[in-house]
Amino acid sequence: KHIKDIIEEPLMSINDDKTSDKAVIDFHCASKEDPQLCGTYQTRKKLLELSNFALILPTTNLSSLSGVLARASEALESSAIPVFVCLPDCEHFKPYLPFAAVLDWSRFSLFLPMARVTELQFLLRSFPDTDLFEMKRQGRLIWQYYLGSGPAILSSALNFLRSRIGLPPA
């Protein structure tokens, strides 16, 4: 089976859930401006600002990783918690995240192996508001200081290199 087929059926059932939680899961993008990102930046940002979580689906090749990272950055910018669905497991995926050697992504993101995708809605409902608030705040700070602009990324990369070669921080 294709990855999309494995993920689509269980996740589409979340849209039909009768609880008060609202979920927007759509695998059919009407806009094809960017094949890896659906819709415009403004429409995605508007939806993310109303969201607690941003589901980020796996990629099977590294050339598509830029789309995954763009979605994660947009989520963090909007204070939504990125939820990465990983193939085959999350330990193989985590090293590809920006500054993974120095940032503990599990403090502001969630990682779910593909095999557990049917448990997603139950997992997301299990977090108390205090944990959600802290993860959202931490993610926003990480975006602001490490990923949110060219100077922030450059400064982060230079400081990472400085620490790797044993130089004191700037």
Tokens for 98? 């920006």
Whole-model pTM over 0.95: no
What pLDDT is stored for residue 144 in this prediction? 92
Tokens of 164: 């790797």
Write the pLDDT tens digit of every residue in 48-106. 898 899 988 776 565 567 778 888 999 999 999 999 988 777 888 888 888 888 899 99
Tokens of 8: 């689509």
Q: What integer pLDDT is reported at residue 139 of this predicted model?
A: 95
Tell me the pLDDT tens digit for each residue of 92-151.
Answer: 888 888 888 889 999 999 999 888 888 888 888 899 999 999 999 999 999 999 998 899
Phi, psi of 169 (to 5 degrees): -65, 160
| Cα–Cα dist 57/3, whole Å | 9
Helices (H) and strands (E) in the chain, counts: 7, 3
Q: CB under 8 Å to 82, separation ≥6 — which residues?
A: 53, 54, 56, 71, 72, 75, 76, 108, 109, 110, 139
Alpha carbon distances (Å) from 17 to 27, 29, 136: 17, 22, 24
From 103, 106, 117, select the one nearest 57 (Cα to Cα).
117
What percent of the chain has pLDDT above 90? 25
